[in-house]
Amino acid sequence: MVLQKDPWKGKGESIHMDIMKNNTINKDNLIIQTTLIDMYGKVADVQKAEEIFSKISKRNVISFGAMMKCYNANGLPEKTIELYEEMIKVKMQPSSVTYTLVFAACGDCVRLGKYIG
C-alpha cells in the first residue's frame, strides 16, 4: 500500500507561507503560532510543529497543550510527559486540559511498554 500525501497538509503549508510573506501580520503572534502547531500535528508533521514551538519566546499553557496534543496524536507520548516536566520546571500552572493530555500520554506509554522515568 502506498501512502498518499495529505492534500490538507499542502494547503496548510501554503497558508503558513502566506503568513510568513505578509509584512502586516505579526509572525510572533502566539495565537497563530499555536494554531500552526495544532495544524501540523493533525497532518503528522511533528518536526514542523516542534520548529514553531521552539521559536515561541513566551510560551503559555495553551501553546504547551497544542504541542502535547501533537505528540499524543503522533505516537510520542513520552515527549508529552517531557513537556509537562518542563512546564513544572518553569513554574507554569497546568490546566485541566494539560492533565488530560498527560494522563492520556501515561496510558499510551503503559500500552506501548515505554518506561516513564
pLDDT single digits (tens) 49-99? 999 999 999 999 999 999 999 999 999 999 999 999 999 999 999 999 999
2 occurs within a structural domain = no
Quote the pTM value.
0.83
Q: For the chain, what is the domain count? A: 1
Mean pLDDT of 18-26: 68
Answer whether residue 23 shows pLDDT above 70. no
CA–CA gap between residue 9 and residue 48 (Å, rounded): 11
Classify residue 82: in a domain, yes or no.
yes
Residue 3 placed within a domain: no
- Distance CA(22)–CA(63), nearest Å, equals 23
Q: Residue 4 domain-assigned?
A: no
Give a yes or no: residue 89 inside a domain: yes
pLDDT band at residue 21 using 50, 70 and 90 as cut-offs: confident
17 in a domain, yes or no? yes
Q: Domain limits at 93?
A: 10-112
Residues 6 or more apart in contact with residue 58 via CB below 8 angstroms? 30
> What value does the mean pLDDT take over residues 28-34?
89
Q: How many beta carbons lie within 10 A of that of residue 81, not counting itself?
A: 21
* Count of C-beta atoms within a 10 Å radius of residue 50: 17
